[in-house]
Amino acid sequence: MENNILTGFTGDYHTHTYMSDGSSSAEQNVLEAISKGLKEIAITDHGFGNPKRFAMTEEKFDEQRKQLEILRAEHGDKITIYHGIEADLIGEDGTIDLSEKQMAELDVLVMGFHSFAKPKSFRDWRRIYWNAYLRAIKYPPKSVIARNTKALIRAIKRYPIDILAHPGHLFKVDCVEVAKAAGDYGVLMELNAKHFNYSHELFEKMLTTSANFVVNSDAHFYKLVGGFSQIEQFLSQHSFDPSRIVNLGGRPAFKKK
Ligand SMILES: [Zn+2]
Ligand SMILES: [Zn+2]
């Protein structure tokens, strides 16, 4: 049985701007989302712990907040605009690179593993970053996957994360175990259009957990906002309750709101 996806997607909750490593403005992302018929968008630039070249600073974050306030005043009747951050997992103990103060300022918290982030310690670099650097290792040892999985689950338990960005991308984890924890703690598993790496078999297994999912573009260029056709095609080959994909017809509720 195929799903009917005619209800369409309501929002894109993972997009970047020139404030981090994107090449467009928040306004361009918002206008593109409106033109594609989306009702919600989140601007989620890379967080405060990233290397200088595209670091989000507190000053830039404040400036971005002001930009979004102006955009809300202009386009608020057409689209809901959330202000978020894509934070990084930086420690085996589940630490992420966001202070309590910064966390309190967000509408939505996206969190993922990024090999360019700054690990908490040399030990964390050696234990969890090193393996992700070795992109050639498509099938790392089970012990590495188990360790990564535990680190991600610790983060899920410690922080009010809304969306787990591209689980399994570079940083190999047991996505089914992660999905179980995500279901328990109300964290959305992302189907990321930029880094889409789920097999049909894996997605079926994740559907057996209580986790819900969200489809996001991870757009770094405004034209890619709301570009979900590849994932739509993937989903059309599965049978599931459409409400499991929170932005398929519905609107997700974020913890920070
Ligand atoms: Zn990411
Ligand atoms: Zn991203």
Q: What's the CA-to-centroid distance between 244 and ligand 2, angstroms?
A: 22
Residue spans of the domains in the chain: they are 11-244
Q: What's the CA-to-centroid distance between 210 and ligand 2, angstroms?
A: 24
**Closest ligand to 217 CA?**
2
Give the CATH fold of the 11-244 domain: TIM Barrel (3.20.20)
Q: What's the CA-to-centroid distance between 1 and ligand 1, angstroms?
A: 33
Within the chain, residue ranges assigned H as helices are 26-35, 58-75, 100-104, 122-124, 130-133, 142-158, 175-185, 200-207, 229-235
Q: What's the CA-to-centroid distance between 21 and ligand 2, angstroms?
A: 9
Angle separating helix axes 26-35 and 58-75, nearest 10 degrees = 30
Cβ–Cβ under 8 Å, residues 26 and 215: no
User: Cβ of 210: how many Cβ atoms within 10 Å?
Assistant: 11
Q: What's the CA-to-centroid distance between 86 and ligand 1, angstroms?
A: 7
Residue 252: per-residue pLDDT: 93
pLDDT single digits (tens) 178-196: 999 999 999 999 999 999 9
Q: What's the CA-to-centroid distance between 31 and ligand 2, angstroms?
A: 19
Residue 55: per-residue pLDDT: 79
pLDDT single digits (tens) 62-76: 999 999 999 999 999
Range name among 28-37, 119-128, 194-203, 211-220 with the lowest pLDDT average: 119-128
Residue 6: per-residue pLDDT: 44
Cβ–Cβ under 8 Å, residues 9 and 33: no
Dig out the tokens for 156 from the structure. Answer: 């899920």
Neighbours of ion ligand 2 (CB under 5 A): 86, 218
Per-residue pLDDT band at 1 (split at 50, 70, 90): very low
pLDDT single digits (tens) 159-170: 999 999 999 888
